[in-house]
Amino acid sequence: MSESEALEADVAGLPDFRRMPVHDAIRWLAEHGEPADPRPDVDTASLVRRFPHLAGVATVDEVVAGPHGPVSIRVYRDAAAAATGPALVWVHGGAFIGGNLDMPESNWVSRELAARGIPVVAVDYAKCLGEVHHPVPSDDVLAAWRQVRDAAATLVGVPSESLALGGASAGATLTSGVVTRLRDAGEPLPAGLVLVYPLLHPNGPAASNEPDPLSPHGQLALNYAGSTAALADPQVFAGVGDGHGFPPTLIVTCEFDELRPSGEAFAATLAAAGVEVVLHQEPGARHGHIDEPSDPTAPPTIAALADWLGATSVHDD
């Protein structure tokens, strides 16, 4: 929940999950479900009024089959936008316990990229509430990736070899873990990987493999992993692996983000493994900034994503 969203939540009488103990937030969400976003200006109609260049973006909601049930996806295309070459499968964040396809981090970002000629398939996933833990959300993302890849020409108008994968925050954890799973299984990898303010280690603020069980970050990491043993698995947290065999990767960190060390450390890991990696730090930005369309640091990050995705190294064979 962004700072402005938290303020709106206070006005609406909703709980501010940033300030609740992790276990209380998980319990509340499991019992009540995720509340509607209290912000009055982040729905699609408001976004199009604020950003007229998004008016040509068309969407189609679909469902793909996953091993644990249906997985919701949303396809974004702008027929009038000049194609830049690649398309992107994009996964939102939410601390593994929240988030959806309508949040700006999913919907606004996808529309902005589609308007720039980069078709997007946004993917939702099961949240780690109650008895749900890894690999369930990872399985959802993996199932969606496989099916979008198989149908890339129809869904997004690009060959499967030009399909990139990416996510923000918890979505970056999931997508980097999925790349690890694809690599380990010998399956084709994405043309590129985009990780925005990622959590790649069990202890993100320290970029460490040793979680801090007393911190919210550590508790959310364990809730996602489901066991202390899983915390050491690179398919769960890619940062504990050596990064070999990863595709070209863009990592976006924020100047004022506790998780910045995790992204920086993984960039170094990838570079040491011979992977083509770009580390982009957004000046003045905080964690979650692309979930707030009014944040002045958000548009530069989206532009950086679009520029990198359009680079020859991402979509050339």
Number of domains in the chain: 1
pLDDT at 71: 98
Closest CA to 2 of 305, 286, 232, 315: 286
pLDDT at 219: 95
Instruction: Provide the pLDDT for residue 14.
Output: 59
Integer Cα distance of 211 and 17 in angstroms: 21
4: pLDDT confidence band, cut at 50, 70 and 90? very low
Q: What is the pTM of this model?
A: 0.93
Residue 15 included in any domain: no
Is the preceding peptide bond at 38 cis, omega within 30 degrees of 0? no
Reading the block at residue 141, the tokens are 């993302």
Whether 101 is covered by a domain: the verdict is: yes
Q: What is the CATH number of the domain that holds 155?
A: 3.40.50.1820
What is the per-residue pLDDT across 12-33, written as a single tens digit (0 to 9) for each? 455 676 678 899 999 999 999 9
More confident residue, 20 or 234: 234
Please list, in sequence order, all residues whose beta carbon lies within 8 angstroms of the beta carbon of residue 196, skipping any fewer than 6 positions away.
166, 167, 168, 169, 172, 252, 290, 301, 305
Residues of the domain holding 148 = 36-313
Question: Mind listing the pLDDT tens digit for each residue in 155-177?
Answer: 999 999 999 999 999 999 999 99
Residue 22 lies in a domain: no
Residue-level pLDDT at 82: 86
Tell me, yes or no, whether 230 lies in a domain.
yes
pLDDT at 85: 87
pLDDT of 260-315, one tens digit each? 999 999 999 999 999 999 999 999 999 999 999 999 999 999 999 999 999 744 54
pLDDT value for 282: 98
Question: 62-103: per-residue pLDDT in tens?
Answer: 999 999 999 999 999 999 998 888 999 999 999 999 999 999
For the chain, percent of residues with pLDDT exceeding 70: 93
Asked if residue 18 belongs to a domain, the reply is: no
Taking all residues of the chain, what is their mean pLDDT, rounded to a whole number? 93
Confidence at residue 314, expressed as pLDDT on a 0 to 100 scale: 54
Laid out side by side, the sheet with 120-123 consists of: 57-66, 69-78, 120-123, 87-91, 163-168, 193-196, 249-256, 277-286
Q: Which stretches of the chain are DSSP H helices?
A: 3-12, 22-32, 44-50, 107-115, 136-150, 152-155, 170-185, 216-225, 260-272, 298-309, 312-315
3-state DSSP helix/strand/coil % of the chain, to nearest 5: 40, 20, 40
Does a structural domain hold residue 74? yes
Residue 64 lies in a domain: yes
Contact yes or no for 277/251 (Cβ under 8 A): yes
Answer yes or no: is 28 within a domain: no
pLDDT at 256 exceeding the cut of 60? yes
